Structure 1
Amino acid sequence: MSSMIISTEPATGVEIWRGAPGDAGAEVAAAREAWPEWAAHSLAFRIEALRRFANEVRSREQAFADLIARETGKPFWEARTEIASVIAKVEISANAYLERTPSRKVEAALGSKVAVRHKPHGVLAVLGPYNFPAHLPNGHIVPALIAGNAVVFKPSEKTPATGAMLVECLHAAGIPEGVVRLLIGGPAEGKALAAQEGIDGLLFTGSAGAGMALHRQFAETPHKILALELGGNNPIVAWDVADLDTAATMIVQSAYLSAGQRCTAARRLIVEDGAEGPLVEAIVKLIDRIIVDHPHADPQPFMGPLIDVAAADHLQERYLDLMMKGARPIRRLDRPWEERPYLTPALIDVTDVKDRADEELFGPVLQMIRVKDFDAAIDEANATRFGLAASLIGGSPQLYDKYWANVRAGVINWNKPTNGAPSNAPFGGVGMSGNHRPSAFYAADYCAYPVTSSESEVARAAIAQGLRDPVSDLTPTD
């Protein structure tokens, strides 16, 4: 069992929450007991309960956003957008469930019917990340509850206070405590939850390494649903750009929103060799205007700190490794306050680095690669095991068609940032970015399973072939 879980503000180091680790087995047992009654309620009943939850979150909007900002370090304005996403998720999920899992009946032979309905899996475990500690787990929890599942939710050990408030809002809305259980803990509790025989599936958002471990763990339990939403080494290609300032804005948004702590953040900027100068100049001018400060600073910052000192130390190590291998800094990754995890946005040219690691650098580091032509740009975009997000900035419709057709990713944008995926569309990746269980609008697909029924009000049966004639089987009496 983990020791006491303590949450501190990344910006200041001040403790804001602490709690004892929970017992995975006990939480699953409680959810298992409560699940049948919740599943027996009508869909309308469950949706109405989730609408009350949305209103409960709305009533706590300021306090909830303040907690997220303090616990993650993200600017207060950004935390408010996360709360807005939590609220909006309910109606989006209700519409998605009705569209993705409709009940239907079609006529069959002899007056019978073929019916298709959906059932919940049962008890689903949800493991949440720290970068969007309310929105991302909520994106699993709400669809799971609408479908009729019970949930055991373990938030990241780095953001337990946000997880606790999310569950508190669910319970305050009248969703039974047994139906949504909160498991506080660290990696040990997460592993214990994933290993429980009493869960019917696990919904995970996090790193590719953890996702691979879960995939191996679930290899011998194909009867359990496993939905993995993992990271990316995402490319953004800038080609034949007409509006340099707009392109620079989209690139900066893609790379540095949330201090680069988004799975959809652009990690690699791919440009035409020899033509990149004006664009790079526009990007640098914007980078130099970025405010890096604590979440409630005035004026509001564009970036806050990383989640903790360990994360900042790791990113600096990876940055220095690239420098040692020949990368050229255009804007350095600096640490304004050594004792806190603040980092400045970095832009580095890694064109001449021969053995770049294909990894997700989870922070404000954008690597630029110069290529000779557009075919090489596509090759470079695909030079990754991941496949979450990709964007093309500039170019013609024909060029975008070529990009869309050849780039491997689950989210492919044109003249839009790599991040900020819409919730009313599916969200997921290929390769090391997921296991073909897209979330957002398609979350309903992994929260319920289809049941096909052949039905008739009157029993009719006949065997047309393969039986002896009953008359010929009679034995003569004389």
Structure 2
Amino acid sequence: MFINSKGNYVDGKWNVASGEIMCSVSPVTEESIWQGNASNAQEIQSAVIAAKKAFGYWSKKNVDERIEFVYKYREILKDNTDYLARYISYEVGKPLWEAKTEVNSMIGKVDSSIDAYFQRNKEVINNQGKTKSITKFRPHGVAAIIGPYNFPGHMPNGHILPALIAGNTIVLKPSEKVPCVSEIIMELWEKTGIPNGVINMVQGMGNIGDMLVNHDDINAVFFTGSRYVGRKIAEACLNKKICALEMGGNSPLIVWDAVDIDAAVLMTIQSAFITSGQRCSSARRLIVKEGDFGDAFLKRLQQVCEKLVIGKVEDMPEPFMGPMKNCELVNELLDFQNKLIASGAKIIVKSKRISDLGSAYVTPGIIDVTGLDIEDVEVIGPFLRVARMSSLDEAINEANNTKYGLAAGIITEDKCLYNEFAEKIEAGIVNWNQQLTGASGRAPFGGIKESGNYRPSGYLATDYCVYTVASMENDSVCLPETLPKGVVL
């Protein structure tokens, strides 16, 4: 399944880039599945020029004409679900069932993006006598989209679709960790017959993203990734161009009571360990009530966690977890675990590398850090830090004790406790008796504090793909009924 790259996709053509050699190694097989070249400054310039030229005619098309290409893309995705899912699995490490879920989310995003556009960007006319007050929505121009590795299809797709529907043109810079899946997605867009230059892709490392962000002809930047990179983008865009940032989290899940402990355990596992703990909304901090319920819950969580099936993409029966993206991420997780143990944390389930499967495979870990002063960091991977609390106020205070604010959740049968939690918690996604890693395509998705810049994606992505123009309009030149005081005509 090795792919020798066709290069960048610019102005409707494939051109082999001339920068350094790039290689994508599958965490499943530890073999290369893609090889190509990074872009250089001139190739970035060519992509931006193509997108800027295309904006002139793409933005003037009727929105229904633009949507026709989006519908074509949806049908092509349906026809290629298994093909795309297989490459997502091998390049990222997700089990095949989960990769297919990602492709299905991409397909579902089409209808929700169209509905959101018409619901939120409809021209508004208010008559004020002979004058009309009109609010219009216009595309920004050329949008740079910088994607993550954990959802190489779904996350860029969540920016691409609303941006195109609104009339923007695009230069996509995928994560350097997933060039293969991104090239396949461009091949699918090419099959739609979308006009040349409307959507372009350039491969490369982080410096290519920097070039795009700082390019004078880039009008918008939509980014999903780390807090560190997101803050650099925000500084570069300040007062110059719009940016929408999704920057991860250190998300808390409070487990307070449940009649069905197994149900609470399953929600916790899905919150923390799905995608091998590599989702931006993954639960990383587990806050559990002191006492008999908390003891019973943690004991059962330990039992189930130790039996989770971890395996390769096409193993049968299918595993719950595959590998992390690379062995370096596993190293960081295990180093963090050792640091916590040295600080006095107590192991509940120890995270271990599964060398028999490969260097990027790791078992889930759970560690009790109650009473310890733990650094507020996002450590990627299937790893939960547990803190025991005696009151809900303490639990909520602990949950809010972070610079991040993406997702938070509580498991409880008591609606009054949920209402208190929902009122006080500081997060953009707040769930009750639901996994943190689940999201509705008909709702916004984004965080507060340092998890984002208050421009949520999801259903509201259409909002940052346009800017508003307010007009006062009168189709004739006429005097008012009453002249202003002090004016004689």
> TM-score, structure 1 length as denominator?
0.95
Which residue is equivalent to 2:305?
Answer: 287
Q: State the identity %.
A: 37
Q: Is the 8 A contact 1:7 1:71 kept in 2?
A: yes
Which residue is equivalent to 1:35?
Answer: 55
Task: Map Cα deviations across residues 210-248 of structure 1 (whole Å, 9 max, x no partner).
Answer: 1111112222xx141110011011010011222100000
Aligned-pair distance for 1:467?
Answer: 4.3
Q: Secondary structure at the match of 2:273?
A: helix
Aligned-pair distance for 1:465?
Answer: 2.9
Which residue is equivalent to 2:88?
Answer: 68
Distance in 1 (alpha carbons) for counterparts of 2:319 and 2:204: 31
Which residue is equivalent to 2:190?
Answer: 171
Which residue is equivalent to 2:468?
Answer: 450
Task: Map Cα deviations across residues 127-176 of structure 1 (whole Å, 9 max, x no partner).
Answer: 00000000000000000000000000011101011111112211211212
Which residue is equivalent to 1:125?
Answer: 144
Distance in 2 (alpha carbons) for counterparts of 1:215 and 1:449: 18
- The one-letter code matched in structure 2 to 1:186 is M
Structure 2: which 5+ residue stretches go unaligned? Answer: 1-17
1:104 aligns with 2:124: yes
Aligned-pair distance for 1:261?
Answer: 0.3
1:319 aligns with 2:319: no
Which residue is equivalent to 1:273?
Answer: 290
Structure 1: which 5+ residue stretches go unaligned? Answer: 471-478
Task: Map Cα deviations across residues 240-266 of structure 1 (whole Å, 9 max, x no partner).
Answer: 222100000000110000000001110
Q: Secondary structure at the match of 2:404?
A: coil
Which residue is equivalent to 1:230?
Answer: 247
Distance in 2 (alpha carbons) for counterparts of 1:154 and 1:401: 41
Of residues 324, 330, 334 in structure 2, which corresponds to 1:306? 324
- The one-letter code matched in structure 1 to 2:287 is I
Which residue is equivalent to 2:269?
Answer: 252
- The one-letter code matched in structure 2 to 1:42 is N
Distance in 1 (alpha carbons) for counterparts of 2:317 and 2:158: 31
Task: Map Cα deviations across residues 69-90 of structure 1 (whole Å, 9 max, x no partner).
Answer: 0000100000000000111111
Aligned-pair distance for 1:284?
Answer: 1.3
Q: Secondary structure at the match of 1:271?
A: strand
- The one-letter code matched in structure 2 to 1:13 is E
Q: Secondary structure at the match of 2:59?
A: helix
Of residues 74, 78, 82 in structure 2, which corresponds to 1:58? 78
1:337 aligns with 2:339: no
Task: Map Cα deviations across residues 354-377 of structure 1 (whole Å, 9 max, x no partner).
Answer: 2x1101111000110011211100
Which residue is equivalent to 1:188?
Answer: 207
Q: Given the superposition, is the C-alpha separation of residues 49 and 308 from structure 1 closer, same or farther in structure 2, using an over 3 Å criterion?
A: same
- The one-letter code matched in structure 1 to 2:394 is A
Which residue is equivalent to 2:101?
Answer: 81
Which residue is equivalent to 1:476?
Answer: none
Which residue is equivalent to 2:12?
Answer: none
Deviates more, 1:36-45 or 1:21-30: 21-30
Task: Map Cα deviations across residues 47-104 of structure 1 (whole Å, 9 max, x no partner).
Answer: 1110100111111111100010000010000000000011111111000011111112
RMSD: 1.4
- The one-letter code matched in structure 2 to 1:332 is K
Which residue is equivalent to 1:407?
Answer: 425
Distance in 2 (alpha carbons) for counterparts of 1:73 and 1:28: 32
Q: Is the 8 A contact 1:24 1:196 kept in 2?
A: no
Of residues 230, 237, 242 in structure 1, which corresponds to 2:259? 242
Aligned-pair distance for 1:400?
Answer: 0.5
Deviates more, 1:203-212 or 1:267-276: 267-276
Aligned-pair distance for 1:106?
Answer: 1.4
Aligned-pair distance for 1:2?
Answer: 5.7
Q: Secondary structure at the match of 1:330?
A: strand
Which residue is equivalent to 1:386?
Answer: 404
Q: Given the superposition, is the C-alpha separation of residues 469 and 103 from structure 1 closer, same or farther in structure 2, using an over 3 Å criterion?
A: closer
